[in-house]
Structure 1
């Protein structure tokens, strides 16, 4: 189960104005469309034997219209605040 990320930005905290915040902003603006289309949060797996990185392939297939066997629920208006700790290529 994955939650797609359609839009994101740095928060307005004071760190945004530091060199770390500037580096973060530069990182975000340089993400390719391909990377942006794969952004997601893995919310769960069918069982412990399913790798969490499989959600990326699920999201990419869903975004490209290959939705066979894949359901979706629109979470319009939902916002969340989080921190990127790890990215997979």
Structure 2
């Protein structure tokens, strides 16, 4: 299990995408989550250069943190929005 998590985490880092997120063994892994608490705070979001204006709309449950499902929903909407251009 440790190897799988390491492999997936390495894949996230190597992908180098600001919108790359991966779930491993029920965990939310994204390079913006510098505190490694499986959630992205507004400070982490902004520090990672994600659009500050998008944080509130991505935070669907309004708890001030972006969890895995919230990030995936935001990322999917962004990709759909940009695919139409």
Instruction: Looking at secondary structure, tell me which structure has more strand per residue.
Output: 2
Instruction: Looking at secondary structure, tell me which structure has more helix per residue.
Output: 2
TM-score by length of 2: 0.25
